[in-house]
Amino acid sequence: MRRPLIAGNWKMNKKVGEAIELVAALKRELYDERAAEIVVCPPFTALSPIGEILEGSTIRLGAQDLFWEAEGAYTGEISAAMLRDVGCVFVIIGHSERRRLFGETSETVSRKIAAALSAGLTPIVCVGEALEKREHGVTDEVLRKQMEGAFASCGEGDFLKCAVAYEPVWAIGTGHTATPEQAAAAHTTIRLWARERYQKEAAEKLRILYGGSVTPHNIKELMAREEIDGALVGGASLDADAFCRIVKYNR
Ligand code: PGA
């Protein structure tokens, strides 16, 4: 059985004070939540204080990005060791907003995965097709290519430490959630790819999250699909009540 993983991607939202307020509410509401593994990914500026607040709690800390070099003259960048230092355990890599707006490629995604793993961070690697690719019927090819590129130099032992998030670009922040069937089909493609590339066991253990307009209203039917192992939640993770309802989807 794969333990569900529910991660909140706060994107470029919440100043430190607001972030502390949100995470304090989550800590109160979710202190006894064991069924799902819970992760929050605040912006860089809030990681350190939130890391302190979350010490000893069941909610884990994640970052939204990292740079692959260990240290040095890389103005504006943050290393994996810096993320570990403030309490991060997870890191989102290759989000479509980073691919689209900041020129991330399979090559950079793959280097970031390697850097995260060598520092002991769990990468949540994002893949997903744009609307026009889906309309052209090439979703599977896009996903396979993104997986191939991201994990090009990742051995099986390391692959076992990663999670993947399927995030169709057309569903992110649009209110147009993929149907559970669409999401399940994409997850199957990703798992089949993993089975061809690695051993069956590694493919079976991989947690594949769905992301794209997840809300308290649609989480239950998404999670009802056995192909879907969790969610990467953007907009709805900014509200304590909505995120808690998502985490407690089964109650
Ligand atoms: P959304 O974002 O839930 O606001 O659609 C999801 C994501 O981009 O991770």
Average pLDDT, the chain: 97
Cα distance between residue 29 and residue 243, in whole Å = 10
Of 22-26, 30-34, 76-80, 220-224, the range with the lowest mean pLDDT is 30-34
Task: Check residue 93 and give its pLDDT.
Answer: 98
- Encoded tokens for 233: 């939640």
Mark whether 29 is an active-site residue.
no
How far, in Å, CA of 158 to CA of 123, rounded?
A: 10
Residue 207: enclosing H or E segment and its boundaries?
strand 207-211
- The fold for domain 5-247 equals TIM Barrel (3.20.20)
pLDDT at 251 exceeding the cut of 90: no
> How many CB atoms are located within 10 Å of the residue 128 CB?
27
C-alpha 170 chain-centroid distance: 17
Q: Determine whether 77 is exposed, middle or buried from the number of CB atoms within 10 Å of its CB (0-12, 13-18, 19+).
A: middle
Let me know if 148 is a catalytic residue.
no
Q: What angle do CA 25, 27, 33 make, to 5 degrees?
A: 125
Residue-wise pLDDT for 87-109, tens only, equals 999 999 999 999 999 999 999 99
Alpha-carbon gap, residue 90 to 87, rounded angstroms: 9
pLDDT of 143-186, one tens digit each? 999 999 999 999 999 999 999 999 999 999 999 999 999 999 99
Q: Which of 104, 167, 187, 227 is catalytic?
A: 167
232 CA → ligand 1 middle, Å: 7
pLDDT for residue 119 is more than 90: yes
Q: Is the pLDDT of residue 244 over 90?
A: yes
For ligand 1, whether the C-beta of 232 sits within 6 Å is: yes
- Is 201 a residue whose pLDDT tops 90? yes
> What is the Å distance from ligand 1's center to 181 Cα?
19
pTM of the predicted model over 0.95: yes
Tell me: pLDDT of 57 over 90. yes
What was the pLDDT predicted at 49?
Answer: 98
Domain edges within the chain: 5-247
